[in-house]
Chain A
């Protein structure tokens, strides 16, 4: 409605939107600016301020310098841990979820509705109900305090989401396509490989982004099942805050926060459309 009489209203609308957007960006801007200020400069003023001169040394210190619990290797080993958990768990859970989603939506087998119903209950079951059993299972199979243990947990638990995403996508594929392929003698795997997978591009991107973001950002399992050098970066950030509580190093801490948030922020920037699709797909469960 770009009508003249609406001009004042439109100015108000723009003003409101831009003010709220500024407020939403402010925390990010504040942390980025702090990561470029020295600890002393922050200590003299507040955490909200313009750098007097840009100092990149915080990033070097955050990446490989500062000490958590008597190990002075910065955030790098924990970033590596997070990557070593997130990447395999994302791949496994997406692949298995795609096959399971294909099986329950197009292949059909006895008991498919039942098992699918139970698996999707995993979307709702609080993590707290699984903490003790996972502790015991991981201890029994010797995977407590290992990255492999976290990969196992995230793969199995991620199946609830990935199966749901893929199943809801695959039900729209016409059954005649599958029937025709079966008459031609194609089996379960060949149909998946030749027909389903080539059609799966968008849903696989949505699922991968969703899984990567969730697993990278996960904290409770990381802090419960790993300690010290095995922790993912979310748990390490909390440990860092606790370790420097007496003599805060806000510049370095800000740089560490930025580094830890960077992988998922980059994925969001690159795949924003698919990120939002995942959000809304998860909502209509």
Chain B
């Protein structure tokens, strides 16, 4: 059938590759564009981080000077400390809240669908909206503190947003509100996939609900926990919009994070070399999380294949 067309008289047979050209183009052009931009953009940014570029990219080699300049700056040091605190606090609290919500929802309660949608809806909203709304709620002159004062308790204090030491926690709060539903969804899927026969067997053996959770259900969740933690860490490392909308890095530079430093260096101070160096540092921080995870996934998969 397929060579009927080529057999027709008066119509020269097209070579195979010409006939299939549209197919090759459709397959390769988008994939190559995507792959090429990822590789070349990364390499280019890494290269720029070793050049003396400021306002415009220039060739040249300055070794690690951009890196030492970035890591020696107070801006980066505060951003890095903040990332450690924000990253660990957000990831732990968000996973814990998500797990608690999942366990609560797993108790065959009425209205589970509605409740689940309530915990998940913040994920549909942009970080800009989340940050803006929480900047109002946490503003001591506008939000929760003002409300409590108006109700009569005038010594009440909740001013983390303008407190240099506590401001980073406002970002933790908003980030948990936004994304712990994600942890909940994954944990709930995990809870639902535990073999009901094992649970039944434990109950027959006389294990109460608390014991069943601690001994049987929760231990089976830890692969999901690792996934949740890694994905939330990936989000924490690249956090930008949320801080821009909530504190804009302030008060002062108290809530600075690496992504804000990169933006500041690249587009506000026009120090392209240093900005690129800070971006590469962000990539390295990310790799410090993702490479062990990839190795772990690889080992798990091989073990699964052998079992």
Contact = CB atoms under 8 A, between A and B. Distances in A.
Interface of A: 1-2, 10, 13-14, 16-17, 20-21, 24-25, 27-28, 30-31, 34, 45-49, 96, 99-100, 103-104, 107, 109, 115-116, 118-119, 121-122, 124-134, 136, 156-157, 159-160, 163, 184-185, 187-189, 213, 216-220, 224, 234-235, 237-238, 241, 250, 253, 257, 260-261, 264-265, 267-269, 272, 275-276, 279-280, 283-284
A99 B27 CA distance: 7
9 contacts: A48-B137, A99-B26, A132-B44, A219-B127, A219-B128, A260-B126, A260-B128, A283-B182, A283-B228
Interface size range on B against A: 35 or more
Interface in B223-281: 227-228, 231, 234, 237-238, 240-241, 244-245, 259, 262-263, 266-267, 272, 275-276, 278-280
B124 A267 contact: yes
B231 to A, nearest CB: 6
A224 B122 contact: no
Contacts of A250: 136, 142
B130 to A, nearest CB: 8
Given A103-B27, A129-B279, A118 B38 contact: yes
Contacts of B237: 126
B242 to A, nearest CB: 9
A129 B127 contact: no
Contact of B34 (A119, A131, A279): A119
Contacts of A17: 101, 104-105, 109, 115
Nearest to A159: B34
A208 B25 CA distance: 24
B119 interface: yes
Interface string B206-226: 000100000000000000000
Contacts of B41: 129-130, 133-134
A10 B109 CA distance: 9
B38 A119 contact: yes
Interface stretch (B61-69, B85-93, B143-151, B164-172): B143-151
A276 B38 contact: no
Nearest to B180: A24
Given A21-B119, A124-B234, A188-B20, 20 more contacts: A1-B107, A20-B104, A24-B118, A46-B142, A46-B143, A47-B142, A122-B34, A125-B38, A132-B45, A136-B57, A159-B33, A188-B27, A217-B126, A217-B128, A237-B129, A237-B132, A250-B142, A257-B133, A260-B128, A268-B121
Interface in B13-70: 20, 22-23, 26-27, 30-35, 37-42, 44-45, 48, 57
A189 B27 CA distance: 11
Secondary structure of the B contact surface, majority rule: helix
Interface of B: 1-2, 20, 22-23, 26-27, 30-35, 37-42, 44-45, 48, 57, 101, 104-105, 107-109, 115, 117-130, 132-134, 136-137, 139, 142-144, 146-147, 150, 177, 182, 185-186, 189, 209, 227-228, 231, 234, 237-238, 240-241, 244-245, 259, 262-263, 266-267, 272, 275-276, 278-280, 282-283, 286, 290
Contact of A109 (B27, B177, B276): B27
A119 to B, nearest CB: 5
A161 to B, nearest CB: 11
Contacts of B286: 124, 126
A128 to B, nearest CB: 4
A184 B121 contact: no
B132 A132 contact: no
B124 A283 contact: no
Contacts of A184: 1
Contacts of B189: 280
Chain A to chain B: the 5 pairs with minimum beta-carbon distance, closest first: A217-B126, A268-B124, A46-B146, A128-B279, A133-B41
Contact of B122 (A24, A109, A272): A24
B35 A115 contact: yes
Nearest to A192: B26
Contacts of A46: 142-143, 146-147, 150
A133 B279 contact: no
A59 to B, nearest CB: 16
B42 A129 contact: yes
Contacts of A235: 128
A132 B266 contact: yes
B67 to A, nearest CB: 15
Contacts of B147: 46-49
Nearest to B123: A279
B72 to A, nearest CB: 20
A188 B2 CA distance: 13
Contacts of B123: 268, 275, 279
A122 B36 CA distance: 11
B146 A47 contact: yes
